[in-house]
Amino acid sequence: MRMEWLNRMMDALDLMERHMDRPLPVEEIAKAAYSSPFHFQRMFYMVTGMTVAEYMRKRRLTLAAQELSMSSAKVVDVALKYGYDSPESFAKAFRKLHGVSPSEARDKSVPLKAYPRISFHLSLRGDKEMDYRIVEKEAFRVVGMTVVVETQEGEHNKRIPELWRQCNSDGTSAKLGSLSRDGNVLGICLDMKQDRFTYMIGAEPRPDADAGEFAEREIPAATWAVFTSVGPMPGAIQEVWRRIFQEWFPSTGYEHSGKPDLEVYPEGDVGSDDYRCEVWVPVVKK
């Protein structure tokens, strides 16, 4: 199963490399990996740390810089070739990545950045099992504080901890726990797009709870793969997320369904070695 996954991801990378000079819908890339677009994008990001769009942009600007430094091609032609509508938009993106303008890149003494093609390698890990359970849960209501975060350049890894610190310090987390039907506080990834999503620190409220000050959303009915994290936050749960996408998905007949992800945090010392929480991933059988 893992070798099959590896081959499919390599096929998708081959397709991207062959078509750096034309628009390539993510649906077409995902098809090469025999995957849904949503699942492919989540897998790609969790394995590489970059979105598909971010990887394609960096690769195209790398190839554009090489072309400008090694040929007499016009800047406008190179810009159009690699998907930019105007020389101005191309120059802005080029300078942001390389630190110089496209015309300055013709100077052989000017250093340029290069983002090489990535590759996937199979890592066999048989020393540590991944226990999980499958749970069917009907739709339910959640309330909480939300923030829209970008995934490019890992921006969400800064914004989400900031939201947790704010909610922990101003009493929001404690209030959500008191409203919760089971005492748990939830971390929820909603409205997931290629380069952004909405993150909520929330709770599933009791029917009689007064949650008027919070945003309200409905989590749709889903089949969930549930994993337990043991250890101090955030390192322990981050390791669980890594293993889900790098080990569990490639080894099973499941893929991400595209519905919200949940992190379930019970009361306790989140910094202790024995703190237990859960990751709920919505899944479908391939």
pLDDT in tens, 228-259: 999 999 889 989 998 999 889 988 889 999 99
CATH of the domain at 205: 3.20.80.10
Can you give the pLDDT at residue 129?
A: 73
Tell me: do 139 and 265 sit in the same domain.
yes
* Among the listed residues 32, 102, 91, the one whose alpha carbon sits nearest the alpha carbon of residue 66: 102
Residues 27, 275: contact at Cβ < 8 Å? no
Residues 114, 97: contact at Cβ < 8 Å? no
Q: What is the pTM of this model?
A: 0.81
Tell me: do 65 and 161 sit in the same domain.
no
As a whole number of angstroms, the distance between CA 66 and CA 130 comes to: 44
Tell me: do 150 and 89 sit in the same domain.
no
How many structural domains does the chain have?
2
Tell me: do 155 and 225 sit in the same domain.
yes
Question: 57: domain range?
Answer: 2-106
Assess if residue 115 is contained within a domain.
no
Assess if residue 116 is contained within a domain.
no
Assess if residue 65 is contained within a domain.
yes
Can you give the pLDDT at residue 196?
A: 86
As a whole number of angstroms, the distance between CA 235 and CA 246 comes to: 16
Assess if residue 274 is contained within a domain.
yes
Q: Which helix (H) or strand (E) is 116 found in, with range?
A: none
Residue ranges in the chain whose pLDDT is less than 70 = 1, 121-128
Residues 97, 59: contact at Cβ < 8 Å? no
Can you give the pLDDT at residue 21?
A: 92
Can you give the pLDDT at residue 202?
A: 97
Tell me: do 16 and 67 sit in the same domain.
yes
Assess if residue 112 is contained within a domain.
no
Tell me: do 64 and 197 sit in the same domain.
no
Assess if residue 154 is contained within a domain.
yes
* Among the listed residues 199, 215, 189, the one whose alpha carbon sits nearest the alpha carbon of residue 280: 189
Assess if residue 111 is contained within a domain.
no
CATH of the domain at 68: 1.10.10.60
Q: Which helix (H) or strand (E) is 148 found in, with range?
A: strand 140-150
Assess if residue 120 is contained within a domain.
no
First to last CA, the chain: 12
